[in-house]
Structure 1
Amino acid sequence: MATASLTAVPARTDGPRPAVLVLPGGGYGHQADHEAEPVAEWLASLGIHAYVLRYRVAPHRHPAPLEDAKAALLQIRAGGMGLAVDGTRVGVLGFSAGGHLAATLSTAVATGDAALDLQAAVPDLTVLCYPVVSYTDEVHQGCVDNLLGTSPSEALLREVSADLHVTATTPPAFVWHTADDAAVPVHHSLAYTGSLVSAGVPAELHVFPHGRHGLGLAPEDPGPDQWTSLCAAWLTRMGWTQSSPRAM
Structure 2
Amino acid sequence: MSGHSKWHNIQAKKGKADAKRGKIFTKIGKEIQVVVASGGPNLDSNAKLRDVVAKAKAANMPNDTITRAIKKAAGEGEKTHYDKIVYEGYGPSGVAVIVETLTDNKNRSAGNVRSAFTKGGGNMGTSGCVSFMFQEKGEIIIEKGDLDEDEVMMMALDAGAEDFNADEEEVFVVTTAPEDFGAVREALENQGLEFLEAAVKMIPDTYTTLNEEDSKKFQKMLDLLDDDDDVQEVYHNAEFPEGWEE
Same fold by TM-score greater than 0.5? no
Give the TM-score normalised by structure 2: 0.23
Higher strand share: 2
Q: What is the TM-score when the length of structure 1 is the normalising length?
A: 0.23
Instruction: Compare the two structures and name the one with the higher helix fraction.
Output: 2
Rg (Cα) greater in structure: 2
Of structures 1 and 2, the one with the larger relative CO (CA 8 A, separation 6+) is 2
